[in-house]
Amino acid sequence: MKKHARVVVIGGGAIGVSVTYHLAKYGWQDVALVEKHELTSGSTWMAAGNCSFFHGNYYCTQVNMKSIELYQQLEKETGQSVGWHTTGSIRTADNPGRMEELGYIYSMNRCLGLDVNWVTSEDMAKMHPLINVDGFIGGLYWPDDGDVDPNGITMAMSIGAKKFGAEINTHTRVTGIEQTDSGEWLVHTDKGDITCEFVVNAAGLWAPQVAKMVGLEIPSIAGEHTHILFETIHAVEERDGYLPLVRDPDRSIYIRQEMDSLILGLYESKVKQWHPEGVPWDYAQNELQPDIDHIADFIENGIYRFPIMGETGFKHVTDGPITYTPNGDPLVGPAYPLRNFYHACGYSFGITQAGGIGHYLAGWIMEGEPEIDLWAVDSRRYGASVNWAYNHEKIEDTYPRLYAIICPNDWRDAARPNRTSPIYEYQKQAGAVFGDYYGWECPNYFTQTEADKRENPGWTRNNAFPYVADECRHVMNHVGLLDLTRFAKTKVSGPGAETWLNTLTCQKVPVREGRIALSPMLDSNGNFKSDMTITKTKEGEYFCVTASVGKRHDQHWLMQNLPGDGSVEMMDMTYQLGCLILAGPKSRELLQAVCYGDLSDEAFPFGTSREIYVGRVKCRINRMTYVGELGYEIFHPIEQQISVYKTLTGAGDAFDLRMFGMYAMESMRLEKGYLAWKNEMNVHHTPLETPVAWTVKWDKDFIGKRGLEKQKTAGIPRRLVCMTIVAEDTDPWGYNPIFSGDEIVGMTSSGGYGHRVEQSIALGYVPPEFATPGARLAVEVLGKKRPAEVVAMPLYDPENKRMKA
Ligand SMILES: Cc1cc2nc3c(=O)[nH]c(=O)nc-3n(C[C@H](O)[C@H](O)[C@H](O)COP(=O)(O)OP(=O)(O)OC[C@H]3O[C@@H](n4cnc5c(N)ncnc54)[C@H](O)[C@@H]3O)c2cc1C
């Protein structure tokens, strides 16, 4: 075994081997994989091998696509059989909510150019003569889905990895990991030490223990999963070709052909966690004892759909452990707060994604940026409050719902409340219906009507709609209060702070004390990294605010770029400061009623910041707004939040102060065309494509400038536009294809209803020739094309008169 490697990959399952293969293939040959037993001896060897394009997330779908592309060529490349079968797959629907979900998936898949088709019950019965189609109202069919031999792909990738120069060490266990003073990693194994620049934790079932070796806690726990292989079924044996895989999510089952029979897999109603406190190191290639009683109802579900199973005996029941995270998606990418330590674990569908994630993660490690936006799987999407105990509780809800209808507003109760603002109980009394954002309870909307205190999840307008409309109108005409305590807040200070921040953002860092600057951070290609607002609080001190969900992501980036000379200090202020927003034409009068000093526009203009007492609490108030009305962001010591809140609400009656929630904020920001992180601002777009191109200051140097210069020279390939949609009762949500005639010319990044302008709105990127107001396009929403018109941006108060009033 090598004593030094550029990268050490821990774990020889499908994921670790794929990362190793891709690193070596793309030119980093100096990779050592370390596996404690034989390759595939964790979850991989037991997997059913189903590979589908289906995923609820646009970018994860691309990972699946990459895997399938690779599996189809691996055998030719390596000589190792991988058992790939193109079988096609069907996903069924037996209720309108499921049809909506399929509609969303259909439209999103079309943005990716995937071959996906609607099928009727009759079509399904023709494609799979053994299926009972009773109750189906439709389905989707992907002709190119298939299955693969998990052992075969892992062995093939290992052959490929070795051919490209990587070293694969089996029967070698990592026992500890240290970082040396020089920043190198020292990986201890039972066969000796390896020093390296990068470590990848692909330890599957043991990934939490490996993470612990470097002081990290990751939310991944093993749970049992069962699939059943039936005895030979003559109707299958006699057929030529392969039957399509069928997923009946409403019965939480999948069925596919295996040789001359069928496999039934199921996600039962109660997860059996397996060694939740840590899988024993000596576990390898062992099946678990199946518990047929535990899954009996779901076997019945299988027999209902495929009656022939009721007449056929079991040939083999496979019960094996799989890792589960709070939302079922894996944990990939840079591990916060470490340098050069990556995760590639937490996989419950790791065969489907192994090929693809190996490709994308290798690129991420080598280039420092992912080729596609992998935020959906980024381990930093979870904060510190999402710990082992949280996951232990949460997966009880997630596992039985792995096939639940995907929709963006299905706020589950499990493991909540987790993080709350001090005014949480007051918000509850005011009728808040909360969502969970990075673990924070945040009101989505307010109602006193008991029946509407639970939102009806779905893709079409729902019972929240009238309350959100009311809140938007109220903010437009009076004044509203919103709690954004969850903002990520960082104090940056020191003699080098200004120069350093200026290298991190394309914007000019404010020079005058009390000035605020919208300051996008870019990656080296000029694409959006983060959306930051910088306030100069005093000489050499800056208050930086970014999106709450991006806290770890953004602070990680700042930490990694911190100069080594001690001239800049960073301090996380997120949990020390709360933030309440006042917005609406009466916000100044209200604030003036409870503050000392002059708040007139002359004394406290838009885009400035001051320290002001609100009642008896010293607050930092930024005159900023994300909703396009006169407004203020009131940052205050978190322990004094109730005092600030009571002062504002105490005076609020005279101004008709009411609280509003996240949904109203989202509606209003769409009307203003303000960009949202990970919607409009992601690794696929630069500021030059958007209305915040003005933030790019060409007369200074900053990360991403070369990329922007290149784009400017080559020509801006697309532009962000606002469109109004003829939507009936279903607004776009993002990832909708945008059509000119029959041709897909772009994709929406967000969408919703603008209550102040009373229009359905979408933001999206299209080539410049379609980016002129008046251009007639169409946006496909839940599988149905809707007329759309490009309009001048912003739709609401284009001269910003209200905001700057
Ligand atoms: C019954 C069943 C059916 C499944 N069906 C499917 C399916 O149809 N489709 C699909 O996509 N997925 C399926 N899965 C899930 C899939 O098997 C996993 O998601 C995938 O195998 C995870 O791969 P991995 O490489 O991350 O982890 P693992 O396969 O668990 O590999 C991790 C490896 O790391 C090694 N390791 C751990 N710690 C150390 C250490 N300290 N030092 C050295 N080595 C270490 C382990 O020995 C192990 O070999 C199924 C799983 C099961 C159990």
User: What is the full DSSP assignment across 433-484?
Assistant: EEEEETTEEEEEEE---GGGSS---SSS--TTHHHHHHHHHHHHHSEEEEE-
| Residue 220, ligand 1, Cβ within 6 A | no
Q: Let me know how long the chain is.
A: 805
Tokens read off for 104: 């969303």
Query: What integer pLDDT is reported at residue 349 of this predicted model?
Result: 96
Angle at 367 between CA 365 and CA 372, to 5 degrees: 85
Residue pointed to by tokens 């189903």: 50
| Residue 349, ligand 1, Cβ within 6 A | yes
d(CA 15, CA 202): 6
Q: Say how many Å lie between the CA of residue 404 and the centre of ligand 1.
A: 23
Query: What integer pLDDT is reported at residue 288 of this predicted model?
Result: 95
Q: Say how many Å lie between the CA of residue 44 and the centre of ligand 1.
A: 4
The DSSP symbol for 146 reads E
Tell me which amino acid residue 225 is.
Answer: H
For ligand 1, atom 25, name the residue with the nearest CA.
13
What SS3 string covers 93-118? ECCHHHHHHHHHHHHHHHHCCCCCEE
Q: Please count the CA atoms within 13 angstroms of the CA of 596 that sit on its side-chain side.
A: 8
d(CA 445, CA 465): 9
Angstrom CA distances, 778 to 102, 281, 296, 722, 763, stand at 20, 56, 47, 12, 13
Query: What integer pLDDT is reported at residue 91 of this predicted model?
Result: 98
Which atom of ligand 1 is the closest one to the Cα of 227? 1
The pairs formed by 173-176 with CB atoms below 8 angstroms and a separation of 24 or more are 173/34, 173/36, 173/281, 174/10, 174/34, 174/36, 174/203, 174/210, 174/213, 176/213
Contacts of 181 (CB under 8 A, 6+ apart): none
Q: Say how many Å lie between the CA of residue 321 and the centre of ligand 1.
A: 8
Q: Say how many Å lie between the CA of residue 208 and the centre of ligand 1.
A: 13
Q: Is the pTM of this model over 0.85?
A: yes
d(CA 317, CA 2): 41
Given a contact cutoff of 8 angstroms between Cβ atoms, the answer to whether 638 and 422 are in contact is yes
- Please tell me the chain's helix, strand, coil percentages from 3-state DSSP, rounded to the nearest 5: 30, 30, 40
Pocket test for ligand 1, best of 322, 325, 343, 348 (most atoms within 8 A of CB): 322
Contacts of 564 (CB under 8 A, 6+ apart): none
Q: Say how many Å lie between the CA of residue 205 and the centre of ligand 1.
A: 7
d(CA 729, CA 347): 37
Given a contact cutoff of 8 angstroms between Cβ atoms, the answer to whether 582 and 599 are in contact is no
Tokens read off for 89: 């797959």
Query: What integer pLDDT is reported at residue 39 of this predicted model?
Result: 98
Spans of the chain, pLDDT less than 70: none
Residue pointed to by tokens 């070709």: 241
Which atom of ligand 1 is the closest one to the Cα of 11? 34
Given a contact cutoff of 8 angstroms between Cβ atoms, the answer to whether 585 and 477 are in contact is yes
Tell me which amino acid residue 402 is.
Answer: L
d(CA 483, CA 582): 9
Given a contact cutoff of 8 angstroms between Cβ atoms, the answer to whether 130 and 235 are in contact is yes
Tokens read off for 560: 């990694």
Would you call 225 exposed, middle or buried from its count of C-beta atoms within 10 A (0-12, 13-18, 19+)? buried
d(CA 646, CA 481): 12
Q: Say how many Å lie between the CA of residue 360 and the centre of ligand 1.
A: 19
| Residue 352, ligand 1, Cβ within 6 A | yes
Q: Are strands 138-142 and 117-119 parallel, antiparallel or unpaired?
A: antiparallel
The three-state secondary structure class of 610 is strand
Q: Say how many Å lie between the CA of residue 479 and the centre of ligand 1.
A: 54
Adjacent-strand bridge partners of 224: 321
Query: How does pLDDT run across 524-564, given as a tens digit for each residue?
Result: 999 999 999 999 999 999 999 999 999 999 999 999 999 99
Q: Please count the CA atoms within 13 angstroms of the CA of 68 that sit on its side-chain side.
A: 22
CA 458 to centroid of chain Cα atoms: 19
Given a contact cutoff of 8 angstroms between Cβ atoms, the answer to whether 126 and 243 are in contact is no
Would you call 237 exposed, middle or buried from its count of C-beta atoms within 10 A (0-12, 13-18, 19+)? exposed
CA 582 to centroid of chain Cα atoms: 29
Query: What integer pLDDT is reported at residue 190 of this predicted model?
Result: 98
Tokens read off for 321: 């452990």
| Residue 227, ligand 1, Cβ within 6 A | yes
| Residue 43, ligand 1, Cβ within 6 A | yes
| Residue 188, ligand 1, Cβ within 6 A | no
Query: How does pLDDT run across 644-657, given as a tens digit for each residue?
Result: 999 999 999 999 99
Containing H/E element for 17? Answer: helix 14-25
Comparing CA positions, the residue from 675, 778, 798 lying closest to residue 732 is 778
| Residue 256, ligand 1, Cβ within 6 A | no
Contacts of 778 (CB under 8 A, 6+ apart): 738, 739, 740, 785, 786, 787, 788
Residue pointed to by tokens 């002001």: 612
